[in-house]
Amino acid sequence: MTLKSLAAAALRGTARSPLPALPPSPLGEALGRIQTASPEATLLARAALSGLHARAGLVLDAATVLPPVQLPPPACPLPPQLWALLPALLGTPLRSAVLDDLELGRWTLSAAQLLSLKNSGVRNLQELWPLLDERGQAVLDGHPLQVEWQKADAQAQWQARLHELQAVRTADPSAGAAQTLELWQAADANGRRDLLDLLEKGLLADDLPLLQHAETDRSAEVQRRVRMLQGHLPGPLQDELLALVPQVVTTKGDQLKFRPFQLPEALGTPNVGAVDDSDLHRLLGALPFSVLLGALDVRGEQLVQAAEKKSRSLGQQLRAQRERERPERSAEAQAPVTAADAAEWLASIQQRGQRDPATFGRLARQLDPTADIAVPQPLPFVMPARPASLSARQLALWEERQPAVHHERQAEAEAAWRSLMEVLRLRREWARALEEVI
């Protein structure tokens, strides 16, 4: 109260306001003993003492939360030899293998370790959330990483569900189509797009009820795709399209031409403002690619290139259709990787200046970690073939730049070699550390 009343007086000024009365307290008595020559000095001296009294009179607050429940220490913390290597390894193509090793060894991380990885700039840390020990999960409850992990986990579970669904659709089409319809009705917009991707890869005759149900979906994109998919099923619509397509796509010598036409009503009305939607997009997208080629009696690449000349998005759509019908490649090439592959990769960087991350990943994971890979020796500079389309001035600038471009490529190849050596070294260290702890 004293400092408040002194402040009120100070705000108004002693010229306009008397000094406040002293409170009946030990502080008031102490303030009353201050003797000065002027009201201003008295106010300031009392403010000094009151301020000091307030600073010294600390009163503790009440805690707003209860003490944490102390959880038991982790049963299987990550051994220090592995922890020392982990931050570096998580930034390399060896990441998945390392995480698999940790899962296999049932080792856990503490909250402090996870935050340390975050501070080191390690990405996609939500993948490591399941490795947290019990204490770590309690400490970081509510942390943004937990939210990211929950989203990533939900997405992974959804992908697993789709994978199961695909298996059911293959084994029992009728049951698979029924489950797909059920899942469609519960799914959100993103989920429905994923289900459409599934249908586009392997449509079943029993999917027709779903397609018809989805014709009136809120999303214009969903409506467009389900209408086109209906043409993929044998029936009156497909027959109509097969009769129409040869009239629309005609051959003149080696060239394909696209004629005007009336889009069948069943395919709906294209969105006028959309780059990737038109009568032609819908017509050509409404038939399986192989069936389309059969109806036109043309090669796939010929059709795609003609479509690209007409419209880039149309070409992209046809490429995607063709890709969907190709058999899936295996996840990784099975041929063993050797030092010669590494040398070839480095040589390609010296020529083109760009690293291929997929090759680097394969080398990092599969190359013998003790392989002896020679550092790439810089290639002598040879002026490349001059581009025909440049003016004289542009050509002069281009020629001036080429030695520097060549030098950058040689430096990039050497940097790539150092990166590869470092990853192989980490692989050896990790293997050695695993042997020590297992």
Q: Which residues bind other proteins (CB under 8 A)?
A: 3-4, 6-8, 10-17, 38-41, 43-52, 54-65, 67-71, 73, 84, 88, 110-112, 114-115, 120-121, 135-136, 138-140, 143, 404, 407, 411, 414-416, 418-419, 421-422
Assign 3-class secondary structure to 181-210. Answer: HHHHHHCCHHHHHHHHHHHHHCCCHHHHHH
Please state, in angstroms and as integers, the Cα–Cα distance from residue 300 to each residue in 157, 288, 315, 320, following that order: 37, 12, 11, 12
Closer Cβ to other proteins, 211 or 413, answer by number: 413
Closer Cβ to other proteins, 47 or 295, answer by number: 47
Q: In what helix (H) or strand (E) does residue 243 lie, and over which residues does it extend?
A: helix 236-248
Positive or negative torsion for Cα 64, 65, 66, 72: negative
Question: What is the closest distance, in whole angstroms, from the C-beta atom of residue 57 to other proteins in the complex?
Answer: 7
Closer Cβ to other proteins, 64 or 370, answer by number: 64
Please state, in angstroms and as integers, the Cα–Cα distance from residue 147 to each residue in 121, 131, 157, 255, following that order: 18, 15, 15, 54
307-311: which pairs have CB atoms within 8 A and are 24 or more residues apart?
Answer: 310/258, 310/280, 311/278, 311/280, 311/281
Closer Cβ to other proteins, 5 or 251, answer by number: 5
What residues contact 163, with CB distance under 8 A and at least 6 apart?
none
In angstroms, the CA 412 to CA 406 distance is 10
The burial of 372, by beta-carbon neighbours within 10 Å (0-12 exposed, 13-18 middle, 19 or more buried), is given as: exposed
Q: HSE on the CB side for 387, CA within 13 Å?
A: 12
Question: What is the closest distance, in whole angstroms, from the C-beta atom of residue 369 to other proteins in the complex?
Answer: 15
Question: What is the closest distance, in whole angstroms, from the C-beta atom of residue 70 to other proteins in the complex?
Answer: 5
Question: What is the closest distance, in whole angstroms, from the C-beta atom of residue 14 to other proteins in the complex?
Answer: 5
Closer Cβ to other proteins, 138 or 395, answer by number: 138
Please state, in angstroms and as integers, the Cα–Cα distance from residue 392 to each residue in 152, 403, 405, following that order: 55, 18, 20
In angstroms, the CA 353 to CA 411 distance is 9
Question: What is the closest distance, in whole angstroms, from the C-beta atom of residue 3 to other proteins in the complex?
Answer: 5
Question: What is the closest distance, in whole angstroms, from the C-beta atom of residue 7 to other proteins in the complex?
Answer: 4
Question: What is the closest distance, in whole angstroms, from the C-beta atom of residue 262 to other proteins in the complex?
Answer: 58
Question: What is the closest distance, in whole angstroms, from the C-beta atom of residue 45 to other proteins in the complex?
Answer: 6
CA 91 to chain centroid: 15
Closer Cβ to other proteins, 8 or 189, answer by number: 8
DSSP reduced 3-state for 69:
coil
Closer Cβ to other proteins, 240 or 414, answer by number: 414
Closer Cβ to other proteins, 115 or 165, answer by number: 115
- Angle at alpha carbon of residue 292, lines to 286 and 295, rounded to 5°: 125
Question: What is the closest distance, in whole angstroms, from the C-beta atom of residue 175 to other proteins in the complex?
Answer: 48
Closer Cβ to other proteins, 77 or 191, answer by number: 77
